Amino acid sequence: MLSLSCADPWPEGSVGLEEEVVTAAAQAEERDGVSNNSSISSCCSSVNLDDSLTSLQWLQEFSILGANVPQQAHHQPHLLGHQQLGSDSPASPLAGDPASIGMPLTPGKPTAAAYSRIQSLPGIVAHGHCPDEVDYKTNAHIKPPYSYATLICMAMQASKKSKITLSCIYKWITDNFCYYRHADPTWQNSIRHNLSLNKCFIKVPRQKDEPGKGGFWKIDPQYAERLLSGAYKKRRMPPVQINPALQNRLMVNLQSQSRSPCSPTVGPIGLNVNPESQRLLREFEEATGADQNWDPHLAEGTMLGSWPVVRGRNGHKRKLGSRNGATKAPRRSSSPLLSMDEQKEIGPLKGDFDWDALLDSALSGELSLEEGEPLSPIMKDEDLTVRGTHISPIEAPAGTADIHVLVETQRSNDVSDLDEETFLATAFLESPWPEEEEQARSDFLCSSTVNLDQLFDLGDSLGDPSSRIDSLL
């Protein structure tokens, strides 16, 4: 089974088999007596070992972390097997989890604007942040700007399966968004709440002969229809939120460094925040003006001291109730989540993601759609909208490397907010390119400073977007 999950657990076109495989895996779990009590941490430490192969990684490297992230793993997919045999790897998410092992988080491109650089600093509250500038997979401090429904959709679509278990959704989220690995596990409650309440999610009960806990979930085809018909209104992304579980440590770290600003130090959690970063931080705060109210002496009150006055979206206060352990001990995200079958099931979730295929399959009525309910082929318009910005169509130069984002954006024209959000969120989840193309792609990427921010920031140059694309190429 290990080799199955390593090699190609859910090969293309295996959708029809997945339920059987899941069932078989679940039965194997039963046979092996594998309990669900392995913590998600330990689960991740093993399951995540192949995360270096996921698409998240390549895009993160691609965008801002290119110089900082070990790359050999996704250049050497054959290492996967070894990793899964138990040896830990620095490329694994947890190994790369700054909150876990103190991986230094350094600012992004040194030549980028202070704004962009600041985004990559841990624990920065920044309205209007650029999601693609934040390494959500390793940054445990910034809450991903995706709604829970979006996260669920992402997990479901990443799975390429018609149905997915709750624990797999948890797993995918924690695998791909470091924030949730360290966040109060109440987010799982929200996930469940979303699944139950949101009409777009359908529960698929486990069959009698399907061992395991809980049922499966899938996306309602009607909802998919709505997604693609643009029935949903656009909503603004919430501001970045800092993970309260990590913020205190971060604060201590920064404070300790502020006492000796001339010597970059590694704080209690191993976060490098050197004087340059602190300077950038101040730059950012000053540049963002009064709403940030930055004051070197009151920094705690702005971005580092906003907890435990938990701030929801846009910083409004939330009730804390008894969440600080006064009554019910909250479950931690390290609580056991996955059974063996789910770990096997989750394997393909990690970056085995192809939006082309997903959309194609969706449009042809596959994916989670019921038979006879094909999606409307509506994506043939000339215009496209990227997060509220109207953009003229851009022809991808023939024979050049795919501009996946643009292509997908065109195809996603007129999609709903959630779908768009999901698209934006999952665009960087696309599976790694085939090996034979990788070098050429790498060359392209290396020779270009393009990142998603640039691609999605085309609204800045509506006058001549194609010229901007040309400049990117």
Partner DNA sequence: TACTGTTTAAGGAGTT
Partner DNA sequence: AACTCCTTAAACAGTA
Query: Can you give the binding site for DNA, defined by CB under 7 A?
Result: 36-37, 146-149, 165-167, 170, 184, 186-190, 192-197, 203, 206, 211-217, 232-236, 238, 241, 310, 312-323, 328, 331, 335-337, 417-418
Taking the least distance from each CB to DNA, the nearer of 340 and 406 is 340
Token representation of residue 321: 């109730």
Q: Shortest approach of DNA to residue 386 CB, angstroms? A: 14
Between 72 and 196, CB nearer to DNA: 196
Tokens read off for 24: 């078989």
- Quote the least distance from Cβ 315 to DNA, whole Å: 6
Closest approach of DNA to the CB of residue 418, in Å? 5
Look up residue 201 and give its amino acid: F
Q: Where are the beta strands (DSSP E) in 295-429?
A: 384-386, 389-391
Tokens (6 digits) for 157: 């679509």
User: Would you say 129 or 468 has its CB closer to DNA?
Assistant: 129
Closest CB to DNA among residues 126, 166: 166
**CB of 420 vs DNA, minimal distance in Å:** 10
Q: How far is the CB of 300 from DNA (least distance, A)?
A: 21
What is the C-alpha end-to-end distance of the chain, expressed in Å?
A: 43
Q: Exposure of 170 by Cβ count < 10 A (0-12 exposed, 13-18 middle, 19+ buried)?
A: buried
**Smaller CB separation from DNA, 196 or 258:** 196
How far is Cα 367 from Cα 355, in angstroms, rounded to an integer?
12
Q: How far is the CB of 210 from DNA (least distance, A)?
A: 9
Q: Could you tell me the two tokens for 247?
A: 């913020």
Helix (H, G, I), strand (E, B) or coil at 203: strand
CB closer to DNA, 23 vs 335: 335
* Beta carbons within 10 angstroms of residue 342's beta carbon: 28
> Which candidate, 346, 5, 342, places its Cα nearest to that of 159?
346
Of residues 310 and 473, the one with the C-beta less far from DNA: 310
> In the complex with DNA, which residue's Cβ is closer, 205 or 463?
205
Nearer to DNA, 279 or 318 (CB): 318
Shortest approach of DNA to residue 127 CB, angstroms? 9
53/242 with CB nearer DNA: 242
Three-class secondary structure of residue 211 per DSSP: coil
Q: Minimum CB separation from DNA for residue 452, in Å?
A: 20
199-220: b or e for each residue (b if 16 or more CB lie within 10 Å)?
Answer: ebbbeeebeeebbbeebbbbbb
Residues in the chain: 473
- For the bound state, the minimum distance from the C-beta of residue 189 to DNA, rounded and expressed in Å, comes to 5
Output the six-digit token pair for 177. 């968004």
Task: Please give the single-letter amino acid code of residue 367.
Answer: L
Give the whole-angstrom CA distance, residue 381 versus residue 232.
Answer: 18
44, 386 Cβ separation under 8 angstroms: no
Closest distance to DNA from the beta carbon of 60 (Å): 22
Q: What are phi and psi of 405, to 5 degrees?
A: -60, -45
Instruction: Give the contacts of 362 (CB within 8 A, at least 6 positions apart).
Output: 224, 228, 369, 375
Pair 278, 261: CB distance under 8 Å:
yes
